[in-house]
Amino acid sequence: MLGKSAMVYAIIAVLILVVLVVAAAFAEKLKGGTGGGSAKPDPYYLRKSLFTPAERSFLGVLETLDLGGLGIASKVRLADIFGVVQKGMSRAERRSAQNRIIAKHVDFLLIQKSDGKPVLGIELDDKSHEEEDRAARDAFVDTVFASAKLPILHVPVKQAYDPKEVLRLLEAAVNK
C-alpha cells in the first residue's frame, strides 16, 4: 500500500495531467484549429475552375493561335504588372496609388516568353461591364495601362470566337 506522501504525489500528478489536457484543448480552440471538432469552419474552399466559361472559351482560342514568342498569363493583378512612381509623391499618395491597383486584375496578359515583359492586356467584357461601377473600374484600368504605355484590348464576350478574327484583333492592338 502507498504511503500518505506517495498518495499526495499521485493526486498532484493526476491534477497536473488534467490541467495540461484542458489547457491544450483551450489553446487549440483559441488558435482556431479544426482538430477536436471546432465549431467554426475554415473560411476557404477550392473553386471548380479558375476561369468563367467565357474566359475558358477565349483561352482555348488563344492557345490555338501562333503568338510567336508570346506567352499567355491569366488573372494577373495590376500590381504585378505595374509599379508606382516613387519620385514626386508622398508616402500616403504612393500607398493610395498601390491600393487602387492591388485588388484589380486583367483577364489575360500576353507576355514575351523570353523575359516575361508584358505586351498586351486583354479584358473580356460581358454585360456586367455596362454597369456604372464596372464602367468606372474599366476606365481606371484603361488609364493605368495608358499611363504605362501598355496596350489593353477589350473583347466582347461571345458564344464562340473566330481564331482568325482574334488574331487580327491582337495584332492590331499590339501594333498600335
pLDDT tens-digit readout, 109-159:
999 999 999 999 999 998 777 777 888 999 999 999 999 999 999 999 999
Task: Dump the DSSP string for 103-153.
Answer: T-EEEEEEEETTT--EEEEEEEE-GGGGSHHHHHHHHHHHHHHHHTT--EE
105 with 145: CB under 8 angstroms?
A: no
What's at 12, amino acid-wise? I
Phi, psi of 121 (to 5 degrees): -90, 145
pTM of the shown model: 0.74
pLDDT in tens, 6-19: 666 667 766 777 66
State how far Cα 31 lies from the chain centre.
26
Structural domains of the chain, with CATH: 1-45 (no CATH), 53-174 (3.40.1350)
Q: Does residue 31 register a pLDDT over 80? A: no
| Residue predicted with more confidence, 42 or 77 | 77
Tell me phi and psi for residue 71, to 5 degrees. Answer: -110, 170
Residue 127 has a pLDDT of 77
The cell 456586367 sits on which residue? 128
